[in-house]
Structure 1
Amino acid sequence: MSDFTLDRPGRTARAANAIDLYRAVWRWHFYAGLFVLPFLLTLSITGGLYLFRDEIDGIIHSDVKRVVALEGASLVRPSEMVDAALAVHHGTAVKFTSPADPTSSAEVTVRTDTGERLAVYVDPFSGNVLGALPDRGTVMWTIRQFHSLKFFGPIARGVIEIAAGWSILLVATGVFLWWPRGQKGGVVSVRGTPSRRVFWRDAHAVTGIAVGGFLVFLAVTGMPWSQVWGGQVNQWANGSNFGYPSGIRVDIPMSKAKLSDAGTTSWSMEQAQVPVSAPSARSPIGLDEAIETFDRLGLHRGYAVNIPTSETGVYTGSVYPDDAASQRVVHLDQYSGVPLLDMGYGNYGPLGKALEWGISVHLGQQFGLANQIVLLLVCIGNVVLAVSAGVMWWKRRPARSMGVPPMPKEPRALWGLLALLAVGGILFPLVGASLVVMLIIDTAIRKLVRPAAA
């Protein structure tokens, strides 16, 4: 008897185990895709648009956001621009955002007498009011709200957190299914024509392997904004909800207000409490002097200044530019003009630095135009993934059936996969809970199908 004959039972068993493992992975890849792909489509379309937020808003809202740069002309004082905005829209000025470049308008955030918040745009060369929009009322802010599902409340944000976790599972199982195993077609090339299922299978596999790593990166770097995981990690990273690392804490009174209450801030500063100005007999320094101080301290251009509206309020200059390393927040005592806290990217802890850098890349801003183009291609690739998956499933799907991939003959093939899922569930609790629910549903489906097949 030959060695080949003697080895055949062992090889047959190994082949059966390999087929069972493939079926188990394929089944969970199908479930992950069923849940993730609708979100992948919407996130990719809205995310691809938001990559070019400044350019798109600059075109759509050019009447209020763009001005003609006058070479050699001096700028109107910030306080005069605020006065001009309040003359048209009565209320209280709560923020002043300086022009980011010579062709940008200044922005005055006004809380009107009716309680509405308006972004009033002023020409910094003439002091004329160009117009107003609801605060965060630009087209790109609307796109951002859709992208994060904030429009639909906390439950929807929880669902998108689950989708991000399942995206990682989708990529991991997809790489396993793509692995060549001796085949040549469908690895880096696409076979057939669009009329054939193999074309869509190959297009899905090749596109997936090209963008899979980027998809995992986007899912992970998008987690800081998530409802449960992001909130909990933010509190842990900031320590006791204070927001500032121990090296920056100084013995000064702090208010209960958070920096994020006044407007957009960096992820690492969301828990940061705002200090208070010590009551004084002297008059406040005023917005113009505060801005002169911020300029002298070297804040990146385009920074915003929160204007104090109470006797203990402070002037807060904050800027979160494209380069994460230039992020900075400075609080000034409104009477003395003395900096109470001055914090930048270099003061963040290791986790804060890593997440802020990842967020900056996620937003397409860390590496400029190249960052935008690469992520736009990834977004297009994600759309191709979703469309090809749908077409491929439709062509494979049996009549009057969901076309769920078959169960492995030996259920133990699922154990290794489930162990990996458990690790992900521990790291991301909402994702873990959804995996348990899906496992229960899958078990119920197997029990229902088994008698019917008998």
Structure 2
Amino acid sequence: MKNLYNRFWRWHFFAALFMTPLLLTLTISGIGYLFYTDVENKLYADSYFGSSKETTSITIDEGIEQAKAEFSDYAVRKVIILEEPYNTRLTMMNSEGEQKYVFLDGNYQIVDSQEANYTFSNMMRNLHSSLFIGGTFVNYLVELAACWAIFLLLSGLYMTFRKKIWQKAQTETTRIRSRRWHAILGVIITIPMIAIIFTGLPWSAFMGNIIYTAAQQNPSIGIPELKQNPPTSDINEIPWATRKNEMPTSQNHSGHAGHGAHATVTDYTNDYALSVSELMGHIENENISKPYSIILPSSEEGVFVVAKGSNTGVTGLDVHPKEEVTNYFDQYNGSLISSVSYEEYGILGKWFTWGIPLHEGHLFGWPNKIINLLVCLAFLYLMYLGFKTWLWRRQKGLISAPPMAKEISIPFCIFMIVLGIIMPLFGISLILVVLIELVIWFTKKGKTTAQIS
């Protein structure tokens, strides 16, 4: 059992040593993102709630045309209709994939615009998911830090109960006291912290892609087929003579883990399609309440997608998971072709729907934010106590790593294999760690042999 404890202690130490900088960044940026709606409501109050100097009332379609004229390099891809007192929000995109938000007041006059990359929410999200750098390697690194955080919590839990570290000694040094509180705090936050980490994994680059692929390939447990392959509009609504005319198309390539997008966009127009104001009449007839987003068609066969989401990342747009629904309207006659609601999701789809807002801190309002905040602050203090304990134990000029275990521990191997299966990227990283440990072991063994000789 001592061999098992030493193995956990050593790996716990090195995981903390190498992953703490990343975990600090993820935790602090996560705290920032927890309150993005509150920050943005204050920071962008003029954009969100203000009015244009123009007092003439126009239609939403005229407002959209004004936005397209003012930002001629951008195409309108989405119209977000929010509850009062929020202004209507347009999401526009240019040919390089850059997004711009344009706000229309109650008269549908332009109030303000924003560069999407520099809003508070998107900056916190980009820092949290890709450290502002992006790229596959960085995304994997962020995911790896989250996986090793779970190992740190579980290994700490084992060591705490194995050595009964929570018990107060008759005489405590500063290091012993620091270690004891490090252990106690770790026990308290293990379950909530693991819950926060696992509900964020659907965003991750490696495991998130596995989860999403499984959800797509198995609609019964994941994402309904209709949501993966939206219906098409009836092009018979277009006159036969012009039906085969080539229409501009829009391609959007996005990666969830990077929370970013690259796109080639052309402004699709169709004289035979409904206007947004006409569509809103059909939406009202279907008793679809605000808030909702309208994704515009990008081809002659495309549909209007009218969605209510629980994890949109847009201030004022989120709804309760059970209210989540995706509606498809024909772009020519405005009929509701089909609809996919929360009840039709499989178990993985429902996990996304509940887990992400829980992770973001808005599933059940302020209590969710406060709980997540307290857990994150406790995690930061946990790292501080661990680092402090190490400094008190560390000998001058040495790293003072825990000793290597002399024998292979079967329980430890089983535990790590199970974690590696649950978190595949973590499992891959274990191969590298084992190789490093072997190199260290053979190096020490060689030195020992040389000294004996």
Q: Same fold (TM over 0.5)?
A: yes
Cα 1:154–1:341 change in 2 (3 A) is farther
> Is the CA contact 1:248–1:341 (under 8 Å) kept in the aligned structure 2?
no
Question: 2:103 matched to which residue of 1?
Answer: 121
1:386 aligns with 2:383: yes
Q: 1:445 to 1:249 in 2, by over 3 A?
A: closer
Contact 1:40 1:382 in 2 (8 A): no
Alignment of 1:316-335 (within 5 A): 316-320=305-309, 321-335=318-332
Rounded Cα–Cα distance in structure 2 between residues aligned with 1:357 and 1:152:
26
Secondary structure of 2:328's counterpart equals: strand
Which of 30, 40, 43 does residue 26 from structure 2 map onto? 43
Q: 1:210 to 1:346 in 2, by over 3 A?
A: same
Task: Return the alpha-carbon distance in structure 2 between the equivalents of residues 260 and 423 of structure 1.
Answer: 40
AA paired with 1:143? M
Gaps of 5+ in 1: 1-17, 271-279
1:201 lines up with 2:190 in the alignment: no
Question: Which residue of structure 2 lines up, in the alignment, with residue 6 of structure 1?
Answer: none
Moved more, 107-116 or 230-239: 107-116
User: 1:134 Cα deviation (Å)?
Assistant: 1.7
For residue 79 of structure 1, what is the amino acid of its counterpart? D
Q: In structure 2, the residue corresponding to 1:311 is in which secondary structure?
A: coil
Superposition RMSD in Å: 3.7
Instruction: Establish whether residue 424 from structure 1 lines up as the match of residue 419 from structure 2.
Output: yes
The structural deviation recorded for 1:447 is: 2.7
User: Matched residue of 2:125: which SS?
Assistant: helix
Judge conservation of contact 1:122–1:128 (CA < 8 Å) in 2: yes
**Alignment: residue pair count:** 414
Matched, 1:365 2:366: no
Aligned to 1:146: 127
- Paired residues of 1:322 and 1:365 also in contact (CA < 8 A): no
1:215 aligns with 2:193: yes
Which residue number in structure 2 is paired with residue 159 of structure 1? 141
- Mapped to 1, the partners of 2:230 and 2:36 lie a distance apart of 40
Are 2:284 and 1:301 aligned? no
Specify the code of the residue in structure 2 equivalent to 1:306.
I
Change beyond 3 A, Cα 1:263–1:31: closer
SS of the residue 2:135 aligns to: helix
Match of 1:273 in 2: none
Structure 2 unpaired stretches of 5+: 234-248, 262-269, 310-317
Asked if structure 1 preserves the Cα contact closer than 8 Å seen for 2:166 and 2:180, the reply is no
Q: Counterpart of 2:427 in 1: which secondary structure?
A: helix
User: Which of 55, 66, 72 pairs up with 2:38?
Assistant: 55
Q: Taking every aligned residue pair, what percent have the same amino acid on both sides?
A: 26
Provide the C-alpha distance between the structure 2 equivalents of 1:115 and 1:183, rounded to a whole number of angstroms: 53
- The 1-side partners of 2:352 and 2:232 are apart by 29
Task: Give distance in 1, aligned partners of 2:287 and 2:141.
Answer: 41
Q: Is the 8 A contact 1:322 1:368 kept in 2?
A: no
Q: What amino acid maps onto 2:224 in structure 1?
A: P
Cα distance, 1:352 vs structure 2: 1.3
Among 136, 150, 158, the alignment partner of 1:176 is 158
1:74, distance to aligned residue in structure 2 (A): 12
- For residues 110 and 247 of structure 1, what CA distance do their matches in structure 2 show? 26
Which amino acid in 2 is paired with 1:313? G
Q: Deviations over 1:2-57 (max 9, x none)?
A: xxxxxxxxxxxxxxxx3222212111211222233222211110101101111111
Change (3 A) 1:452 1:115: closer
Partner SS, residue 24 of structure 1: helix
The two structures have a TM-score, normalised by structure 2, of 0.81
The amino acid across from 1:139 in the alignment is: F
Structural mapping, 1:99-114, within 5 Å: 99=82, 101-111=83-93
CA change 1:104–1:260 in 2 (3 A) is farther
Task: Report deviation, 1:199.
Answer: 3.2
Contact 1:365 1:372 in 2 (8 A): yes
| Contact 1:424–1:431 (Cα < 8 Å) also in 2 | yes
Contact 1:332–1:341 under 8 Å retained in 2: yes
What is the distance in 2 between the residues matched to 1:306 and 1:247?
16
Q: Aligned partners of 1:375, 1:186: CA distance in 2, in Å?
A: 29
Q: Classify the secondary structure of the residue corresponding to 2:279.
A: helix
Q: Distance in 1 between matches of 2:214 and 2:276?
A: 35
2:198 and 2:320 map into 1 onto residues whose CA distance is 20
- TM-superposed CA distance for 1:247, in Å, is 7.6
Contact 2:226–2:340 (CA under 8 A) maintained in structure 1: no
Please state if 1:24 is matched with 2:21.
no
- SS of the aligned residue for 2:400 comes to coil
Cα 1:401–1:422 change in 2 (3 A) is same
Give the equivalent residue in structure 2 for 1:344.
Answer: 341
User: 1:222: Cα distance to partner?
Assistant: 1.5
User: Pick from 122, 131, 139: which aligns with 2:112?
Assistant: 131
Report the residue type matching 2:80 in the other structure.
T
Secondary structure of the corresponding residue to residue 400 of structure 1: coil
Query: CA offsets, 1:405-444, max 9 Å, x none?
Result: 11234x13x2211111112222322211101111111122
Equivalent of residue 231 in structure 1, options 209, 221, 246: 209
Q: Given residue 245 of structure 1, which amino acid in structure 2 is its aligned partner?
A: P
Partner residue in 1 for 2:246: none
Using the size of structure 1 for normalisation, the TM-score is: 0.81
- The answer to whether the 8 Å contact 1:98/1:301 transfers is yes
